[in-house]
Every structure is written in structure tokens, then in C-alpha cells.
Amino acid sequence: MGLQQTRRDSKIRAQQMIDEAKNMTKQSKESQRRIMRFPAVKAATGLPRSTLYDMMKDGRFPKGRRIAGSNITGWDSLEVEAWIAKQLDCEE
């Protein structure tokens, strides 16, 4: 194996490591769990309030939860993102 082949292999391995690091960073950003308030849920889904609440009532959309026992409602971001992914998968 020549010096040029060794350098080429090293560059390929370095690029693979960079790509893996980028993918890990992207996955960690995507999977961060947070509380989504209604405006964020509406923006993410593109659905109006009445449709979202009708779908929650029918069990076709994740239910909102009271936050800290107050009048504030929030949605689990992972549940909402999973619902969106499911909708997009169904279209294919």
C-alpha cells in the first residue's frame, strides 16, 4: 500500500467521522423533549384550533396536558413530532 493510498484512506475515514458527528448532533437536536404551547403546535401542524381539539377528542392527535396544575396547556414535543412524522409517512 502506497503513501497516496494511506492518505486517501485517512481522508475518507476523517470525512466519515465528521458525517457521523453531524448526524449525532442533528439527532440530539431533533429528540430534545420540550413543552410546546398551542401557537407552536399550530405552526408545526398547520391545523386550526378547532381541528386540533376535535382530533384530540377523537384520539387522533396527542392530548394537551396541564402544566404545573395551572390553566396553561402544553403538548409533549416528541408526541407532536411523532404524529407529524406518521402523517408524512402515510402520504408516501
Kindly state whether residues 52 and 85 are assigned to the same domain. yes
pLDDT 10s digits, 24-33: 656 655 668 9
Contact between residue 38 and residue 78 where contact means Cβ atoms under 8 Å apart: no
Kindly state whether residues 49 and 74 are assigned to the same domain. yes
Kindly state whether residues 85 and 58 are assigned to the same domain. yes
Kindly state whether residues 18 and 57 are assigned to the same domain. no
Q: How confident is the model at residue 39 (pLDDT cuts 50, 70, 90)?
A: very high
Lowest model confidence (mean pLDDT) among 2-6, 27-31, 87-91: 27-31
Can you give the three-state secondary structure of the chain, one letter per residue?
CCHHHHHHHHHHHHHHHHHHHHHHHHHHHHCCCCEECHHHHHHHHCCCHHHHHHHHHHCCCCCCEECCCCCCEEEEHHHHHHHHHHHHHHHC
Domain that includes residue 76, residue range: 35-91
Kindly state whether residues 28 and 12 are assigned to the same domain. yes
Contact between residue 46 and residue 3 where contact means Cβ atoms under 8 Å apart: no
Burial status of residue 75 (CB atoms within 10 A of its CB: 0-12, 13-18, 19 or more): buried
| Residue 43, domain CATH | 1.10.238
Q: What is the pTM of this model?
A: 0.63
Q: How confident is the model at residue 58 (pLDDT cuts 50, 70, 90)?
A: very high
Query: What is the C-alpha to C-alpha distance for residues 83 and 40, in angstroms, rounded to an integer?
Result: 14
Give me the number of domains the chain comprises.
2
Kindly state whether residues 18 and 42 are assigned to the same domain. no
Kindly state whether residues 17 and 50 are assigned to the same domain. no
